[in-house]
Amino acid sequence: MPSDPDSQTLAVLAGGVDLQAAREAIAAVAVRTPTIACEDLAEAAGGPVLLKAESLQGTGSFKLRGALAKVAALGERAAGGLVAASAGNHARAVAQAARIAGVGCEVFMPRDAVVSKVAAVERLGARVRLGGSVEEALELAAADAARTGAALIHPFDDADVIAGQGTIGLELLQDVADLARVVVPIGGGGLASGIGIALHRSRPEVELVGVQASACAPFAAALGDPEATAEVEVAAAATIADGIALKRPGTITLPLLRMLLSDLHTVGEEEIADAMVFLAERAKLVAEGAGAVAVAAIAGGRLAPVEGTTVAIVSGGNVDNGLLASILRRSETTEGRRVRMFTRVPDRPGGLAELLNLVAGARANLLSLEHVREAVALGVRETGVELTLQTRGAEHTEQVRAALRDAGYDVSLG
């Protein structure tokens, strides 16, 4: 990919992107999110790393910036109502912008949209219609806008929306004196395009690195083929980064990112999950899968060292609670901090209490206990017990197991 875009061509492509107007439009509502130092990523990045925490934005993602900028640009046209399509974050942002403007809002969301995201949109007063994929929802939204006269707010293929997302770039240019690289998640490309335009207009030497989920990476396919157009479509597998799982790049954003991106990487599901855990445990930030892909790329050693500071955009934190809990439990198991132990205890009063006293004495935390009396070999006066324990790690687990064995228990790990 070219790292020195033709300024005249780029000026034409980005001509309608008014960053200053967008900054004024969002100032009263959008949060100027913090950049948080993350020393634990510095070694992998080859230099200092900051996290731009858009997960702390008012609606839980960067999307609020673009929605506010677009509604402001619409002016009186917004009075006829707003229409949007999204897997969740853009829908929530447009619903919030509509509520602030005091206008109606119709939102089309895919059939399998996360329940919590649907509920969040409905709480803001928008009417939600479910059906089809994200792409099909976009088509339905466009048709509805044409039929009703309401204003369609596209999630990424719109100059005003791109300008709103670009205000993140303006903030980074002010907040990070030695900014050398920005690593950004890419779905439809509006976020990367906006930030890239802001960087290029003031400091074109700053690298812009995009990241997509391997399960659905249309930009990776399109940018690898100089003849590809926005009609290119990739097969999409299920991904925990549902917020960036789009099959096609944008017609506006593809040519922009062809010129603006210094590099593009893809990350797998395991890497995304690990990045979500990393952010929760090390940075104290809740991130959804799409919001964690930039960190996943850095943690995976994908990026070459640069002179200066790297900023990773944590683009959103609207993750389903059940999914996050499952990912955290999985991480504890992988790291040996959550284990299952099976043993047998005498089937008499106090038999179980003796075992649990030993567990407590070994400083392990009992999460659950289940009696097992079937499908295992047991003595006449025995009962099987399966314990789920939280420990400090593999070494501590072995210490707990040794303590039980020394007391005469035959212990196996599940």
Each residue's pLDDT tens digit, 118-164: 999 999 999 999 988 888 999 999 999 999 999 999 999 999 999 99
Quick one: pLDDT at residue 231? Answer: 67
Q: Does residue 306 share a domain with residue 317?
A: yes
For residue 254, CA distances in Å to 24, 70, 99, 192, 259 come to: 27, 20, 31, 10, 9
Q: Does residue 341 share a domain with residue 204?
A: no
pLDDT at 2 > cutoff 50 = no
In a domain, 398, yes or no: yes
Q: Does residue 270 share a domain with residue 381?
A: no
Pair 55, 317: CB distance under 8 Å: yes
Percent of the residues in the chain that have a pLDDT greater than 90, as a whole number: 77
pLDDT-derived band at 4 (thresholds 50, 70, 90) equals: low
Q: Which domain holds residue 98?
A: 63-152
Quick one: pLDDT at residue 97? Answer: 97
Last-in-domain residue among 307, 329, 351: 329
Task: Give the CATH number, domain containing residue 202.
Answer: 3.40.50.1100
Chain mean position to CA 320: 11
pLDDT-derived band at 8 (thresholds 50, 70, 90) equals: confident
Place of tokens 């670009």: 166
Quick one: pLDDT at residue 140? Answer: 94
In a domain, 1, yes or no: no
**What is the per-residue pLDDT across 86-128, written as a single tens digit (0 to 9) for each?**
989 999 999 999 999 999 999 999 988 888 889 999 999 999 9
Q: Does residue 185 share a domain with residue 139?
A: no
Quick one: pLDDT at residue 3? Answer: 43
In a domain, 166, yes or no: yes
In a domain, 106, yes or no: yes
Last-in-domain residue among 104, 120, 152: 152
CA atoms lying within 13 Å on the CB side of residue 146: 6
Q: Does residue 87 share a domain with residue 13?
A: no
Percent of the residues in the chain that have a pLDDT greater than 70, as a whole number: 98
**Total of domains in the chain:** 3
Q: Does residue 193 share a domain with residue 47?
A: yes
Task: Give the CATH number, domain containing residue 401.
Answer: 3.30.70.260
In a domain, 254, yes or no: yes
pLDDT at 371 > cutoff 80 = yes
Q: Does residue 181 share a domain with residue 248?
A: yes
CA-nearest of 135, 35, 18, 153 to 96 is 153
Last-in-domain residue among 329, 345, 371: 329
pLDDT at 384 > cutoff 80 = yes
Return the structure tokens found at 50. 């900051």
**DSSP conformation letters of 174-240:** HH-TTEEEEEEE-SSSHHHHHHHHHHHHH-TTSEEEEEEETTS-HHHHHHT-TT--TT--------S
Q: Does residue 311 share a domain with residue 277?
A: yes
Q: Does residue 285 share a domain with residue 238?
A: yes
Quick one: pLDDT at residue 11? Answer: 81
Pair 410, 344: CB distance under 8 Å: yes
pLDDT at 199 > cutoff 80 = yes
Q: Does residue 11 share a domain with residue 48?
A: yes
**What is the per-residue pLDDT across 255-267, written as a single tens digit (0 to 9) for each?**
999 999 999 999 9
Q: Does residue 134 share a domain with residue 44?
A: no
The mean pLDDT of the chain is 92
CA–CA gap between residue 64 and residue 318 (Å, rounded): 13
